[in-house]
Structure 1
Amino acid sequence: MALDKREEDTWVLLTDEQLSINDATSFVVCSSTGAVSVFVGTTRDLFEGKKVVKLQYEAYTPMAVKKIKKVCQDIRVKWPVHRIAVLHRLGVVSVSEASVIIAISSIHRQEAIEAVHYCIDMLKAQVPIWKKELYEDGNETWKENKECWWAVSST
């Protein structure tokens, strides 16, 4: 299952296929680009002493795409960026594979770097994509992003 929304200056992809850093960076580069900033989130093999063998991602896809596009619009208001690519895996993601790739281009590096940082934070906080860690011992845990408003305890 894949949802690929590619426009002239914004590419949003949710897919169960492996992600390509080359595709993301190729999309964002244009003739006036002086900087490309890229974030790649990968599946790690250990969490709090537990051996992780894979992750599983699920999403409410129509809402996820809508929220990602809103984050991209917000980025364009805050920084003079050229192009934005937000690619996210769904389904099973093995250790060392990319779960998310964000690539943003601009004239200067500072804008691209700040925009990528903002994008990953907002993606985790606002976009309905959920992650389950599957462990070597057969146990599994749905993970809660600490950035989400609903994850903040009201004590």
Structure 2
Amino acid sequence: MNFEGKTAIVYGAGGGMGLNIANDLLAAGCDVSLVDLKPQPNAISTGPGKAEYFQGDVTDEAFVADVTSSTVSRSKGLDHLVNATGVLWFDRDRSVVDIDMDLWDRVIDINLRSFALTTRHAVPAMRVSGGGSMVHIASIDALRG
């Protein structure tokens, strides 16, 4: 697949798999909006694609809408969406029998609802661009509990 001249948004790009995917896309010539709750990492690759970092909460629909519109305005379209956002708090996660339900709600918001929000805002932009691709990454940890 040729990514040169294309545009992507990678959520969960503050480290780990999301950052690695974003760096691979940048190296392939894709312009990438990297998004995470964490501060911008030092390990963002330089070109040939252009990078822009957005720090914020992917469960906040207004923030997701802002990221999408800023990306589309900057690059004149959107071709790819990657959702690599996810949390598992080993020190606080428990069996569903024992977990604090506020923590449960936050985990569901981050690990599931954010995928719906990012997709909701990406699809209209991708349609205008003539289509696109989406990758939603889940974890084996979904089988825990």
Taking structure 2 as the reference length, what is the TM-score of the superposition? 0.32
Taking structure 1 as the reference length, what is the TM-score of the superposition? 0.31
Q: More helix per residue: 1 or 2?
A: 2
Where relative contact order (Cα < 8 A, 6+ residues apart) is larger, the structure is 1
